Every structure is written in C-alpha cells, then in structure tokens.
Amino acid sequence: MLQRIGLFILTNLAILFVLNIVLALIEPWLVAQGIDVQNATIWIIALAFGMGGALISLALSKTMALRSTGAKIIQTPKNETERWLMDLVKRQAKEVGIGVPDFAIYSSPEPNAFATGASRNKALVAVSTGLLEHMPRNEVEAVVGHEVAHIANGDMITLTLLQGVLNTFVIVLSRVLGQVIDRVVFKSNRAYGPGYFISVIVLQIVLGVLASMIVMAFSRWREYGADAGGARLAGRANMIGALQTLGRVSGRAQLPESVEAFGIRGRVGTGIKALLMSHPPIESRIQALQEGR
C-alpha cells in the first residue's frame, strides 16, 4: 500500500517536476535580463506551468483512458445488450442536459465503470465486462447514471482546475520559501544559492503531497454527489444495490492509475492513508444514500 501511495504521488507530481526544472533553468536568465521574477512575472510563469500539465492531462484524458484500459467505443451495437446500453446513455444524457457521451466497453473481470473527457458535451462513459456479468440491469442503470452525473456535474473539469491552481501555488510558494531559507539558514548572498535549489526541491515534494491530499479530498466528496445523481436517474434502491454489489468485490480496484479516480470503484484506505485515497468507503456512500444525503 505504501508503495502504491508513493507511486501515486510521484505520478501526480511528474509533470509538475519536469515543468519546474525548465522554470528553474530559465529563472536565472530572466533575472539576468532585468526581469523581476518576484512579482507579477513569477505568477504568470507559475500559472502557465502549473496549469499546463493539468490542462494537457484533461485534453488527452479520453484518448489515454481508451488506450490504458483497451476500451472500445461502441459505434454500432452488435447485440441487444449494447443496444440497451447505448439507449440508456442517450436517455440519461438527455435527462441531465448534456451532449450524448461516447460509450465504450472494456474487458475486465472487475465490476467497474468510469467517465472522463474534456467537457460536458464531449465525454466518455465506459463499463467493464465484469460489471455487465455481475450486475442486473437495474443496478447497471444506476452505475451508468453515476457516471453521467459526474459528467453533468463537471467533476473532471473541476478536478483538473483544482489540480492546476494548486500546482501554481506549489511553484510560487516553494520559491518564495526557498529564497527565505537560502538567505536566513544558508546565509547566501547570491540571488540563487545552492540552498535555494535544495529547498525548492524539498518544498515541492512536501507541498505537492499536501496539494494531492486536497485534490483527493475533493475527489472523495464528488463521489457522494455522483451517487446522488445516479439515485435520481435510476432510483435510490438501485444505486444502493449497485454499491452493495461493488462492496462485495474483494481486492483493490484494477483500473489504471490515470483513470482510477474516475471509476465508480476506486482505492480506499484507513487512517492517514485515507487522506490520499480517491474514493470514500463503500459503506459510507451507502449510508449517505440511505440518509438522503
């Protein structure tokens, strides 16, 4: 579990670190050119670099999800089940007022589903073969409703913007604090002494982990909203039944890391580990629905 958490954090910060290396290289050059990077310029650069990775990730989310899961978009239904599913997605999309998402099926024994996409009108909903095998249609309808609700709520876009804003603050704050530490602790008289670069690297790791905790807290919160949306579209009893079926599945979620946060079933944990999990416990989600939350 600790290895998975470490891998998640490193994956989440990879783009940010690469962009920061570039920024660290051009920052002294900007100073040499007489550009004051302590004021508006550093914020502009940080915003461009901090949001850059997040926006690139959002733009490529659909393509990467299809490639990482091997999901195939259903263009023409080949059987009655595919026809029913496509009609279901169209009907639910119309009910919530969004463009009809692409619908895909991917091969996996694990009952799961996910939604992703760069906008509410150009999204993707995918379900696993395991979901279709283990759930009756009324529960599948609730799961699809959960994913359609994610799209309607704009969760993917909001999550991306939140990550981008936090990336920006990590870049700026690590540099501000890095300069303070370089001058106060390392007693450096240079604009960018060794202590500055060491401090920035350490601070980016620490602040990056804290940023990831904030993003995962939002991810967990949005699951409750999507469950409520699925209940409205397919019935509260069906949504509860679908979650109960998912709760009986043993082992961790098998979706790739890049998609797992968008699955109906994802990683959960206890104690400090729970702060870096993308989903709340199934039991808590069921209780929220039973209490009408």
Partnered with residue 116 across adjacent β-strands are 124
Partnered with residue 72 across adjacent β-strands are 105
Q: Is 147 a catalytic residue?
A: yes
Given the residues 147, 223, 283, 291, the one annotated as active site: 147
Enzyme catalytic residues: 147
